[in-house]
Structure 1
Amino acid sequence: MQLDMTIVDAFTDTVFKGNSAAVIVLDKWIDDTLMQSIAMQNKLSETAFLVRQPVQSAEADNTTNRPTPSYHIRWFSPLQEVDFCGHATLASAYLLFDTDPSLSQVQFYAKAVGVLTLTKRADGKIQMDFPNQKPERITSLPQALIEGLSIKPVEVYQNQKAYFVVYEQPSDVLNVKQDTQVLAKLAPYGVAVTCQTQNEDSDNEPDLKYDFISRYFSSAIGGEDPVTGSIHTALAPLWAEKLGKDTLLAYQASSRGGELECEVQGDRVLIAGHAVRYLSGTIEI
């Protein structure tokens, strides 16, 4: 069996930056074990698999009045299937828009997050409509969280996916070191570290055009994730409340780095970014 596969760098317009995801569009679902094996072989933070769903007559693209293509989407890290992944969703939409330039909107469905609408904007960015997953502040901290980070948290928040550690200075975010084995004890929760950039007291990165920066240590991939769209469905509403603004520009400060445009709209969070194709090929199964 041959399967077409595309690797896309998401949340960047430059190859070798952002976060890479593999995308495979299927005619029908293949065995879960096979999808996991492909993701393990790829060794990317996520591999997305898509199967097109029957067209719903009530759904139409606002720009072209064509029926909006709808796909069931699933995401696999090298270790396990995950219930929500933002950058691989962006990569998947990029591939569909690039394959059919007349498209301006697609929809994805995933059990954990429902229907996701993705729109190709005039500026070239792809905008994703996600559920708001704002975290709540906690005061009783797991010991593994305290011991797993080299810099002590100032505040900690939590949602269904991760712990969110707030620091005083962006330099703390940039310099903090993780103990992967200790943080693994928090699974299935990951750990995001974050700070507003206005506190920066030096001329070093990050650029002050950003409202906040972050890094994310993922239990699903067993290390640092380059750029994490799903985590920004929590970071954006957290910083929107702290900064008193609903539109924010974020930077995930991994070694590859990525830029995310965020807008909080009630129970939804819009996240937009660029993407660029790195590789197209065929895999043999």
Structure 2
Amino acid sequence: MAYPLYQVDAFADAVFEGNPAAVMPLNAPLDEDVMQRLAQENNLSETAFLWPEGDAWRIRWFTPSKEVPLCGHATLASAHVLWRELHWPHDELRFNSASGELRVRKVDDLIELNFPALMPKPAELSADVAERLELKPQDVRSAIKELVVLASEAEVAAFSRDFSGCESLESGVILTARSDRDGVDFVSRFFGGPEVGIKEDPVTGSAHAILVPYWAEKLGKSELVGRQISSRPGQIECVLDGDRVRMRGQARTYLRGFVEWT
């Protein structure tokens, strides 16, 4: 049997930008080991699997090495596939996930994600992360992922190592700083830990669920623009709305095809 597969560049207004994700819409779930092997074969930071569940959709996200509880760019890519490729007729989508219900809606030509806000708490930098960082942080926080605040955008941009060998990490490290750019409030980069199987993720929606409440408090504003300054950059319009973070971006289909296996 052949299964549809789409590859979508998320948080991008053109192909070859943003963060690529694989999306596989299904009629029913596959075995977990099969989904994991498909994600490994796709070899992208995330593969999203989705299937109908009542009047909503069940969604699960897999990196090449493990399932993760929350992923922003692959959720945006999934919504793009349902609307643009499969012609889902409604302007709002509900995804049931390991992180609860996620609502996605169309806002003009943008797709808006509604995620739980994860306010990071003060934390200490572990020795192996500090050794690779080789910089003095302005602040260190933690909320699933480690949040390391640096002195400047230049320091975030110039960092040239990764944290793949840091055994103290589970879900990776976010480097961030206030932006030097007009119209952008903060910049960031996200690096996966050894269990995630991603050295650096281009544009990370789940990281902004942590970044937005942090910078909203620091800057005293609820509407922010974040730019992830990886080699494939992307920009996210963000709103802190109580205990939720709304993130808006565009997506473009790069590939349409089918996969099959015996």
Question: Pairwise mapping of residues 79-228 of structure 1 onto structure 2 (< 5 A)?
Answer: 79-98=65-84, 99-100=86-87, 102-111=89-98, 113-122=99-108, 124-138=109-123, 140-159=124-143, 161-183=144-166, 185-197=167-179, 200=180, 207-219=181-193, 220-228=196-204
- What is the TM-score of this pair, normalised by structure 1? 0.88
Secondary structure in 2 matching 1:13: coil
Distance 2:60 2:209 in 1: 18
Question: How far apart are residue 151 of structure 1 and its match?
Answer: 2.2
- Alpha carbons of 1:211 and 1:38: their partners in 2 closer, same or farther (altered >3 Å)? same
Q: Which amino acid aligns with 1:191?
A: V
Question: How far apart are residue 148 of structure 1 and its match?
Answer: 2.0
Secondary structure in 2 matching 1:223: coil
Counterpart of 2:210 in structure 1 is 234
Counterpart of 1:63 in structure 2 is none
1:74 equivalenced with 2:60 (yes/no)? yes
CA contact (8 A) 1:97 1:120 kept: no
Give CA deviations for 1:93-135 in whole Å, capped at 9, x if unaligned: 0111112163211110112x1101100111x110011101110
Secondary structure in 2 matching 1:231: helix
Counterpart of 1:58 in structure 2 is none
Percent identity, aligned pairs only, is 40
Give CA deviations for 1:152-209 in whole Å, capped at 9, x if unaligned: 21210101x21111111100000013243443x1331310000011xx3xxxxxx322
**Farther-moved stretch of structure 1 (171-180 vs 70-79):** 171-180
Distance 1:181 1:101 in 2: 39
Aligned Cα RMSD in Å? 1.2
CA contact (8 A) 2:163 2:173 kept: no
Question: How far apart are residue 255 of structure 1 and its match?
Answer: 0.4
The count of corresponding residues between Structure 1 and Structure 2 is 258
Secondary structure in 1 matching 2:259: strand
**Bigger Rg, which one:** 1
Distance 2:133 2:25 in 1: 39
Question: How far apart are residue 137 of structure 1 and its match?
Answer: 1.7
Distance 2:162 2:208 in 1: 23
